[in-house]
Structure 1
């Protein structure tokens, strides 16, 4: 029995990412916050504060868009199995940017 869950075993990525977005929005709404921090820790220990999360390109991979920290903007395309933890927290007052939920469609 493998220790690592592999992408594609349960449901489409679009639904997973949509549910994560709903959880982020729920956290924000339940606490009456203007902004929240979302970070992702990868299995290698790297921690990324996110501006957004996308189900693209799919096929077991998601796109992480970290908040800029002085460097040029970049994105990480990672296999879902590389994600160890997603943290949702209260945005600190000194932070100018937080996680941006996708615009409602339709």
Structure 2
């Protein structure tokens, strides 16, 4: 497997997260959805259905806050290079979990 290429490492992570949130909002708006489902696939193949994403702690790391079906809430701090894919789509299934951008 070739080395993982990570785009845009030169810019601040808070700007990257803001752009991702704008893309989520645009998708939701374009498709007339009340909420959008956002999932992140990591390089290890794990898939996480997100409630939120944060640019903290920074220094090349972001915090993923997945929806928790059972048990205690959790946060996953990952290096940006570990993110293989971010998928935005309509909420599906009975639970219809969606993404909530942080309040200002």
Please say whether Structure 1 and Structure 2 have the same fold, judged by a TM-score greater than 0.5: yes
TM-superposition CA deviations, 1:23-49 (whole Å, max 9, x none): 000000001101111000000000000
- What is the CA RMSD across the aligned residues, in angstroms? 1.8
Alignment partner, residue 99 of structure 1 = 99
Alignment partner, residue 63 of structure 1 = 63
How many pairs align? 103
Q: 1:23-102 counterparts in 2 under 5 A?
A: 23-92=23-92, 94-102=94-102
- Find the residue that maps to 2:40 and give its secondary structure: strand
TM-score normalised by length of structure 1: 0.89
Task: Say if 2:9 and 2:60, in contact at 8 Å, map to a contact too.
Answer: no
Structure 2 residues not aligned, in runs of 5+ = none
Task: Say if 1:55 and 1:62, in contact at 8 Å, map to a contact too.
Answer: yes
Structure-1 separation of matches of 2:12 and 2:75: 21
| Greater Cα offset, 9-18 or 21-30 | 9-18
| Greater Cα offset, 93-102 or 81-90 | 93-102
- Find the residue that maps to 2:15 and give its secondary structure: helix
Structure-1 separation of matches of 2:17 and 2:83: 13
User: How far apart are residue 96 of structure 1 and its match?
Assistant: 4.5
Task: Say if 1:36 and 1:91, in contact at 8 Å, map to a contact too.
Answer: yes
Task: Say if 1:8 and 1:60, in contact at 8 Å, map to a contact too.
Answer: no
User: How far apart are residue 95 of structure 1 and its match?
Assistant: 1.8
Structure 1 residues not aligned, in runs of 5+ = none
Task: Say if 1:61 and 1:80, in contact at 8 Å, map to a contact too.
Answer: yes
